[in-house]
């Protein structure tokens, strides 16, 4: 299993950064190797990627989503691919965007890329392009502010009610956010305090 974790600070409000991230069909404008993403429903997407000459198609499902806080997803085609993006208010017009991706490289090129750090460089490059994209616009291209509870969320004691959106079994490590330390909370945004 390969894991990549990267963060970047963007000079836009947390709501702007989050709203843009929910516009999956815009990802090819700042993500290398992503040819297209088609939104199939509020919580499912179809991806077409081409990395190192290898084209892949797969579907993903949002497993947890909370406006201005996080979006988590996993692949639905049996391949091990999952991720989570979290948004942290640093100030009125500054946000930290943190990405964690987990996947199993399938072929020799993917395994080699993982070993030599190509995956980390790609995610860092994609985040830099996201920063340039959203800062140059200073506004999101759209938004989806639905709430999807993680399966077995401690707040509900079990699966979320249907009214909050569909849920499914997620990669255990990414399915639910760890409990936050109240001493670290920013009362205005519900996220970490700036500078911590």
The 10s digit of each residue's pLDDT in 6-30 is: 999 999 999 999 999 999 999 999 9
Residue 110, domain member (yes or no): yes
- Domain hosting residue 128, numbered range: 2-163
pLDDT at position 113 over 70: no
Q: What is the tens place of the pLDDT at every residue in 35-60?
A: 999 999 999 999 898 876 778 888 99
Which CATH number characterizes residue 44's domain?
A: 3.30.530.20
Tokens 């079990």 found at: 158
Number of domains in the chain: 1
Q: 182 in a domain, yes or no? A: no
The secondary structure of 140-156, three-state, reads CCCCCCCCECCCCECCC
Domain presence at residue 114: yes
Distance of CA 117 to the CA centre of its chain: 20
107 pLDDT band, cuts 50/70/90, is: low
The verdict on residue 43 lying in a domain is yes
């Amino acid at each position: 299993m390969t894991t990549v974790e990267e963060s970047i600070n963007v000079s836009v409000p947390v709501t702007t950064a989050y709203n843009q991230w929910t516009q999956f069909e815009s990802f090819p404008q700042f993500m290398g190797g992503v040819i297209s993403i088609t939104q199939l429903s509020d919580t499912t997407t179809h991806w077409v990627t081409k990395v190192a000459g290898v084209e892949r198609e797969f579907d993903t499902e949002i497993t947890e989503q909370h406006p201005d806080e996080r979006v988590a997803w996993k692949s639905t085609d049996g391949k091990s691919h999952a991720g989570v993006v979290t948004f942290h208010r640093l100030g009125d017009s500054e946000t930290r965007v943190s990405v964690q991706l987990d996947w199993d490289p399938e072929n020799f090129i993917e395994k080699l890329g993982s070993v030599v750090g190509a995956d980390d460089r790609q995610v860092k490059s994609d985040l830099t392009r996201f920063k340039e994209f959203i800062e140059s616009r200073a506004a999101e291209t759209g938004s989806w502010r639905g709430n999807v509870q993680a399966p077995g969320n401690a707040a509900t004691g079990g699966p979320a009610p249907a009214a909050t959106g569909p849920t499914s079994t997620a990669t255990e490590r990414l399915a639910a956010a760890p409990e936050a330390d109240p001493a670290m909370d920013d009362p205005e945004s519900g996220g970490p305090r700036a500078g911590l």
